[in-house]
Chain A
Amino acid sequence: MAVAAALSRALDSDLWWSFRRSPVTILSAVVALVCILGAALSPWLAPHDPFDLATLNLGDAFKPPSWSAEGDLLYPLGTDDQGRDMLSAIMYGARISLLVGVSAVVFSILVGVGIGLLAGYLGGVTDGVLMRIADIQLTFPSILIALLVDGVVRAALPRELHDRIALFVVIFAIGISAWPQFARTVRGSTLVERNKEYVLAARVIGISQLRIMLTHVLPNVVGPVLVIATLGLSSAIITEATLSFLGVGVPPTQPSLGTLIRIGNDFLFSGEWWITIFPGAALIAMVLSVNLLGDWLRDALNPRLR
């Protein structure tokens, strides 16, 4: 009963209304869903296991896509230099890309929301210092920050330890590069709430101010944080792909889309374009659809914009 009521309220909302009215948004939601499901369920959906060396057949290497003359229906998008099925490799790669992207965004939300609350709540010097750091960091592109963090961690850790936790290092580096935006939004909202009367009243009657603020601030920032997170997801995926393309991202044993593109790049000139282009297309589809959803969400949640 309650579920039905919630559902009917959701279907009646402005958000749903603007969603249904925009064919581009519906299309990007579908594409995003296909990408996410294909990636998440790759161990069950992919036609081959690209990591199972036993099934690799070097005789099948460099097969073009199935629709070209020398193509093989067994490998719909062709194979790479090892005879790996591209479609499967892409699905597994997208899984890594998505995993890193989502984890990094979650990480930066935690850091950003925490710092934003702290800065807004404490005010004064703490606020000044934290926001100044955020400002300085914001002047540099996030890719540079992520590269630096990655480089520093790489230099600080012994090599085998780094290899073992490389995936977490990348998540950490990307996450760190994106926290200031969340912090700023949350801080602004916290400042507004802090001066409202109920917070002062809470102090008078002895309830923890922090606690009452949390319960009031957090609902207010859900919208903006969601928008930044959606757009942040696409940029986290891009950053991860870029790091991996540069060879300093995820470890080669867990190739992401960026790794696949880097490997394929070597074969661009010998005519095996599909080894690069298909992972690239998958990356674009994923990022573009998430971006479009983010744009739509931003406009739908902000009535001032049309």
Chain B
Amino acid sequence: MAAFILSRILQAIPVMLVVALFSFAMFAYVGDPVAIMLGQDFTEAQRVQLVHDLGLDQPFFVQFATFVGHALQGDFGLSYRLSRPVAELIAERAPATLELAFCAALVALLVGVPMGVYTGLYRNSWLSRAFLTFSLIGVSLPTFLIGILLILVFSVWLGWLPSFGRGDVVQLGWWSTGLLTLSGLKALILPSITLGMFQLTLIMRLVRAEMLEVLRTDYIKFARARGLSNRAINFGHALKNTLVPVITIAGLQLGGIIAFAIVTETVFQWPGMGLLFIQSVGAADIPVMAAYLLLIALVFVTINLVVDLLYYLVDPRLRIGRGAAGGH
């Protein structure tokens, strides 16, 4: 188990390094940080001093190592746009994004998986057809349009739910949560549905496809031949086998939720990291972009690791090392 985790972590390191290299290249070569930081009036001596202070006169790999070293300590420099430490900006906004992403993932899984199982089992029922049509529309609707339509119906016409912001938040140490107040929860509903919709339809289609695949296998046929009840076959044998591939892809898709939060946060003016990022792209605020990219990569790598672990727990074939007894 420990060896398994270790090997996965070792595999993740090159990916992080490639992303870090990209971030660094952005950081170092895109735009001119010296010019941006100096402003209009400066002397040549000041410029040279700043270049030296920033370490820009060092060889490439020394600079890169310094960048990685700083990044590991959570130091990403100052935002060009806001002149505040990037780490501080991100820490401030992370709770909003993470809570939103968590609720969206919950929506996607709790609705998507049952819908997928149902459409896989009863592929010709009218409800399955309705679900499939719904999923096709869900895939074709851009996230921001879903948000706008939801706002139009539930905020503008019906006036039930707020259309922007987080509502009242409660401060728990440095973490600000909207989960503990009624207005905070109400504010979460529309953004979570908006953000979860695409993943929901995707997970539903995925579970359905896997379910159909598994139901065709010999061991399901054999389970029927053994006279097991439909319930035991569908929800015991079939569903469990469906989960193995579904966990992988669904896990990766959930990572996408964090990225898609950019759009949802813009639509609902949700004060999270995505909104920060999009403002930074608009203002070419490279340090924030670089840090955000690294953070997203870290999230993806972590999710990958968790997915691998889950996979390991579900599938006994992975628990045995190579060389164990096996027919072929």
Contacts and interface: CB of A to CB of B under 8 A. Distances in A.
Direct contact of A and B (CB under 8 A): yes
Interface of A: 133, 136, 139-141, 143-144, 147-148, 150-152, 154-156, 234, 238, 241-242, 245-248, 261, 265, 268-269, 271, 273, 276-277, 280, 283-284, 287-288, 291-292, 295
* Interface residues of A, dominant DSSP: helix
Contacts of B15: 136
A246 B304 CA distance: 29
B282 A248 contact: yes
Contacts of B65: none
B140 interface: yes
Contact of B263 (A154, A155, A245): A245
28 contacts: A140-B300, A141-B256, A143-B259, A147-B277, A148-B289, A148-B293, A151-B280, A151-B284, A151-B289, A154-B284, A155-B284, A241-B142, A245-B266, A246-B144, A248-B278, A248-B281, A261-B148, A268-B152, A269-B156, A276-B152, A277-B149, A280-B149, A283-B145, A288-B136, A288-B140, A291-B136, A292-B136, A295-B136
Contacts of B156: 268-269, 271, 273
A261 B30 contact: no
A291 B300 CA distance: 28
Contacts of B142: 238, 241-242, 245, 283, 287
B140 A234 contact: yes
A143 B263 contact: yes
Given A147-B278, A155-B30, A268 B262 contact: no
Given A143-B259, A155-B284, A242 B152 contact: no
Contacts of A144: 259, 262, 296
Nearest to B145: A280
B141 interface: yes
A95 to B, nearest CB: 18
Interface residues of B, number: 42
A185 to B, nearest CB: 19
A248 B279 CA distance: 10
Contacts of B136: 288, 291-292, 295
Given A247-B278, A265-B148, A283-B145, 20 more contacts: A139-B255, A139-B300, A139-B304, A140-B300, A141-B260, A143-B259, A147-B277, A151-B284, A154-B281, A154-B284, A155-B31, A156-B31, A242-B143, A261-B145, A261-B148, A265-B267, A269-B163, A280-B145, A280-B149, A288-B137
A147 B140 contact: no
B18 A136 contact: yes
A269 B280 CA distance: 27
B141 A284 contact: yes
A295 B15 CA distance: 33
Q: Sort A-B residue pairs by CB-CB distance and give the 6 closest, nearest first.
A: A155-B284, A151-B281, A288-B140, A155-B31, A144-B259, A141-B256
Nearest to B25: A152
B152 A156 contact: no
A246 B262 contact: yes
A277 B151 CA distance: 12
Contacts of A136: 15, 18-19
A245 B262 contact: no
Contacts of B284: 151, 154-155
Interface string B8-30: 00000001001100000010001
A80 to B, nearest CB: 16
Interface string B262-277: 1100110000000001
B101 to A, nearest CB: 13
B145 A247 contact: no
B140 A268 contact: no
Nearest to B139: A291
